[in-house]
């Protein structure tokens, strides 16, 4: 069964009036992970992480924003192989 994403949830922070996507550091991969969920299970998981993060600095709350109006704006496909690069001279 295929699943089409119809809505996503994004955890938003604010800094000096500008909004941004919240992220947390994944110690297993040593990289920042954006806080975006497409399932209820992931939303619950990220909500628990968000609660921990805001407990470090209560003056910087997070908001969860739901985006649900999908509009496909482009499809990115592999570029065609360069025919001259494979020819021998």
Maximum C-alpha span of the chain: 66
**Domain count for the chain:** 1
Per-residue DSSP letter, 80: P
Residue 43 lies in a domain: yes
Domain range enclosing 12: 8-70
- Determine the pLDDT at residue 87: 56
In tens, the pLDDT along 39-71 reads 999 999 999 999 999 999 888 899 999 999 989
Residue 88 lies in a domain: no
Handedness of CA 28, 44, 58, 35 (dihedral sign): positive
Residue 86 has pLDDT above 60, yes or no: no
- Determine the pLDDT at residue 82: 78
Residues contacting 23, CB < 8 A, separation 6+: 32, 33, 34, 35
What region does 17 belong to: left with phi over 0, alpha with psi -120 to 50, or beta? left
- Determine the pLDDT at residue 84: 60
Residue 38 lies in a domain: yes
Residue 83 lies in a domain: no
Residue 87 lies in a domain: no
């Amino acid at each position: 069964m295929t699943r089409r994403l119809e809505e996503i949830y994004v955890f938003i922070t604010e800094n000096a009036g500008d909004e941004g996507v919240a992220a947390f550091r994944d110690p297993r991969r040593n990289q920042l992970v954006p806080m975006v969920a497409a399932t209820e299970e992931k939303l619950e998981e990220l909500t628990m992480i968000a609660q921990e993060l805001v407990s470090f600095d209560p003056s910087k709350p997070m908001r969860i924003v739901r985006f649900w109006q999908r509009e496909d704006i482009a499809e990115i496909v592999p570029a065609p192989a360069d025919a001259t690069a494979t020819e021998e001279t």
